[in-house]
């Protein structure tokens, strides 16, 4: 099989969902990075080994 007949006519379902609902995967990744940074701060990791705050 070579693909659907509407290939190129409409974007893949993921792009539609991102447009409708937002990019949940990217939001989850950002939340995980923020949680990791906060955990490192709270646990007192050595400053040289701490990750940068998200968005920096």
Length of the chain: 56
Q: What is the pLDDT of residues 25-35, one digit of tens each?
A: 899 999 999 99
Give the model's pLDDT for residue 7: 55
The confidence score (pLDDT) of residue 1 equals 43
Average pLDDT, the chain: 77
Q: What distance, in Å, lies between the first and last C-alpha atoms of the chain? A: 46
Domain ranges within the chain, ordered by starting residue: 1-56
Cβ contacts of residue 37 below 8 Å, gap of 6+?
50, 51, 52, 53, 54
Global pTM value: 0.52
* Nearest CA-CA partner of 4 in 29, 18, 12: 12
Q: Which residue has the higher pLDDT, 1 or 55?
A: 55
- pLDDT one-digit tens code per residue, 34-53: 999 999 889 886 555 555 66
Asked whether the beta carbons of 33 and 47 are under 8 A apart, the reply is no
């Amino acid at each position: 099989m070579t693909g659907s007949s509407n290939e190129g006519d409409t974007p893949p379902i993921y792009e539609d969902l991102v447009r409708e609902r937002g990019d949940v995967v990217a939001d989850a990744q950002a939340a995980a990075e923020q949680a990791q940074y906060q955990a490192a701060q709270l646990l007192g990791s050595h400053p040289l080994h701490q990750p940068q705050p998200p968005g920096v």
